[in-house]
A and B are shown apart, each in its own frame.
Chain A
């Protein structure tokens, strides 16, 4: 290619612009290439070609280049309908200037713009994030404040609560004390009045006798009021305890008949007390049932001038019994039917004014009914009479629950570790039962020290929980016994009571743990679990030359968490006992070439193995001497022969339990 041909070809590629302007900034000349880029713009203002908004800069460039050479002016012009940027150099020419523009690469320009837009966008996002952040901070502050508010509100409520409780306690105590202080003088008045009425100090005239009878009636009423008040305050303070016993309905009713008969002073009123046939015996607080019924009967008699007062005992379904007291008296208007159960409410009536009453009887009765687990309701029609109905469970819930715990404890559950609990308060016993039974333990309840001694003959518990403050029980003595007897001294013992000062004594006597009531369930489970760990999940050593017998034990303890070690040989067995320290040893009476006594002697001569309980299994008919010695030195003797496998399993299991090897608790959350 010739040089001449190359010039136009190269020019065609060029993006440079060359132009000249006059002093007014009008374009007077354009290079060929510039014409191709900008169009035929000769005669137009350069500024008019500038991208809108940059006209001033175009004019500034014209001024600058018209005065002296200028360089590096960036200017955007509209080329082929789109803005492009050139960097211009210029110099004065004639009265105007010439300008040469080198294109600024479009890619750079676009990249810069992109970067600027991206920055702007990121900045917008940053502001949003900042705002959210500020809102969250404000929210946190607000939450913190309301939290502090709540905390102080709680504290305030606690204070108020404490004040209320104190007031309530004071009120209850005052009532109890005052009532008690009242009783002594009232009894003096009653006694002395009676003395006078009995004429032990001489004859009385008619007026004197009349006055004395009034005094006696008033004093009796006062005495009744004080007694009711005392009962009520005991009930309110929750100190009233259930004294349950088993009794027949008929016995209760006949004693009521005897008690109420003297109160029937009006011949026009008949008192009937009857029971439906075939009523189940009751197991609840007889005294409290009788108190409610007495109350209802005396009320009925008081407000009935004609007709009858009838007490009927009938079954009320689902293990409940209803005692209804019906009268043909004045009746109670619907408006008053709930009010009469409030304290000191008496319905104003002529009869009411004539009869004495404390206004506490029904309030007291309703509380007693609820203590008995039942209800007291009334149905009445003014002028026709009233029926009060006491409905209670035949077996009090506490009694029923206690019975079920005791029944459960009769059968040892091999999957649970037995815990002997000595506690006389049923409610507390329920708590133990609830907490411990859900956590892989079996509660063996004992309400007295005697019960506990009996239970210990039957079972070796994994732990003992003892309330040392049982009413009328020699619990300290029992604690000493437990910790002195070799058979029981290793059982972990937890003393629970209400008095902190008992702690030192309990510890001195060997208690492993000391706790103040009330019981915290979680902690109890953890603690008993810890105590029991010492004896649970251990090893059982079987020394038996009969392979089948070893297999049997192994199967028996499958899945209980116990590791079974076994050997056919006595010497090997003793070695294993020393090394592995099993929790219990099952020993066959007759081994090849030696007897259980040889093994026992070996075990007893070594302090490491001396205290391991040994259960003898034997198919030999033992002579009395052997039997006696084995009974002294071992935990149990099981006869192998003539037993079915099932019986054998049961026996071994019982023996293990009795030896304190409660199989590992399974399924208990803390077990």
Chain B
């Protein structure tokens, strides 16, 4: 974690919303940091750290919620500072898989994709697979992005991918991202499922490639 992310985390755990915001806006944006880097490497990094701290019983659920609320506020303040790219005319549905209550990663990804010119529909935490299919049928999109934070929910990702394939055919690109996929073996033998594990730029590049907007893919690996 960067020094800024560490100070940010301290402010979050101390429940100091103002300080957290000041750090993001004044120490971050005002000193030339890009909004997507604040999203990814300050808020995103501190959220991952909070997960680890809870795991190690260094913080309580209540503290985790408090920190997350502060992160939401900071993301909201940073969002208007994104340099908005021209609209790409491509839509993407972003959702957490069924059971996955951590929607922070999905939120961060949504903001970054929106700023990059995608039309983003954000469905939030724990979207039941049935519900997801309903949404896809009601209003088709150019890509689906599934977020998974807890390793435990990876099986749900497999189920969701299979269900979407069955319902929408093999063409729809599916992007899978989140803490749980960082160190995960391949999920399914499908060359239209993409994994994003890197930076904001990687996320955008991968999705652009997935929807056929660029020839060169990101640092993603195509699952085999």
Contact = CB atoms under 8 A, between A and B. Distances in A.
A126 B79 CA distance: 10
Contacts of A57: 54-55, 57
Nearest to A138: B84
Interface stretch (A117-125, A419-427, A563-571): A117-125
Nearest to B119: A131
Contacts of B114: 127, 131
B201 interface: no
Instruction: Report, as a range, how many residues of chain B touch the other chain.
Output: 20 to 34
A115 B70 CA distance: 12
Contact of B107 (A53, A70, A123): A123
A85 interface: yes
A60 B56 contact: yes
Contacts of A55: 152
A542 to B, nearest CB: 76
A112 B57 contact: no
Interface stretch (B22-30, B40-48, B61-69, B184-192): B61-69
A380 to B, nearest CB: 64
B154 to A, nearest CB: 10
Contacts of B125: 117, 120
A231 interface: no
Contacts of A52: 99, 150, 152
B12 to A, nearest CB: 14
A61 interface: yes
Interface in B103-144: 103, 107, 110-111, 114, 122, 124-125
B60 interface: yes
A109 B61 contact: yes
B124 A120 contact: yes
**Which of A108, A115, A121, A124 has the largest count of B CB atoms less than 10 A from its CB?**
A124
Contact of B69 (A74, A115, A130, A133): A115
A134 B84 contact: yes
A123 B61 CA distance: 21
Nearest to A70: B57
A60 B99 CA distance: 23
B62 A112 contact: yes
A474 B109 CA distance: 88
Contact of B72 (A61, A64, A123): A123
Given A57-B55, A119-B72, A120-B72, A127 B122 contact: yes
A126 B76 contact: yes
Given A119-B69, A121-B124, A72 B57 contact: yes
Contacts of B110: 127
A116 interface: yes
A120 B103 contact: yes
A478 interface: no
Contacts of A133: 80
A104 B124 CA distance: 26
B75 interface: yes
A60 B107 contact: no
B152 A73 contact: no
A127 B112 CA distance: 12
A112 B61 CA distance: 9
Contact of B65 (A112, A121, A127): A112
A127 B110 CA distance: 10
A123 B62 contact: no
A120 B125 CA distance: 9
B142 to A, nearest CB: 18
Given A112-B61, A115-B69, A120 B107 contact: yes
A73 B57 contact: yes
A186 B98 CA distance: 105
Contact of B79 (A70, A115, A127): A127
B153 interface: yes
A109 B62 CA distance: 8
B74 to A, nearest CB: 11
B65 A53 contact: no
A338 interface: no
A85 B61 contact: yes
A74 B79 contact: no
A56 interface: yes
A597 B54 CA distance: 114
B167 to A, nearest CB: 25
Given A116-B69, A123-B107, A60 B55 contact: yes
B153 A61 contact: no
A116 B102 CA distance: 10
Interface in A113-151: 113, 115-117, 119-121, 123-124, 126-127, 130-131, 133-134
A399 B68 CA distance: 87
Chain B CB within 10 Å, residue with most, of A55, A113, A127, A134? A127
Contacts of B60: 72, 74
A130 B61 contact: no
A206 B65 CA distance: 127
A123 B75 contact: yes
B131 to A, nearest CB: 15
Contact of A124 (B122, B150, B153): B122
A52 B69 CA distance: 24
Contacts of A119: 68-69, 72
B76 A123 contact: yes
A53, A113, A119 pick with most chain B CB within 10 angstroms: A53
A137 to B, nearest CB: 10
B180 to A, nearest CB: 9
Nearest to B103: A120
Contact of A64 (B57, B65, B153): B57
Across chains A and B, which 3 residue pairs bring their CB atoms closest together, nearest first?
A: A53-B152, A53-B150, A52-B152
Given A52-B99, A123-B76, 14 more contacts: A57-B55, A60-B57, A64-B57, A85-B61, A113-B101, A115-B65, A116-B65, A120-B103, A121-B124, A124-B122, A126-B79, A127-B76, A127-B114, A131-B114
23 contacts: A53-B151, A57-B55, A60-B56, A60-B57, A64-B57, A70-B57, A74-B57, A74-B61, A85-B61, A108-B62, A115-B65, A116-B65, A119-B68, A119-B69, A120-B103, A120-B107, A123-B75, A123-B76, A126-B76, A127-B76, A127-B111, A130-B79, A133-B80
Interface of B: 54-57, 60-62, 65, 68-69, 72, 75-76, 79-80, 84, 99, 101, 103, 107, 110-111, 114, 122, 124-125, 150-153
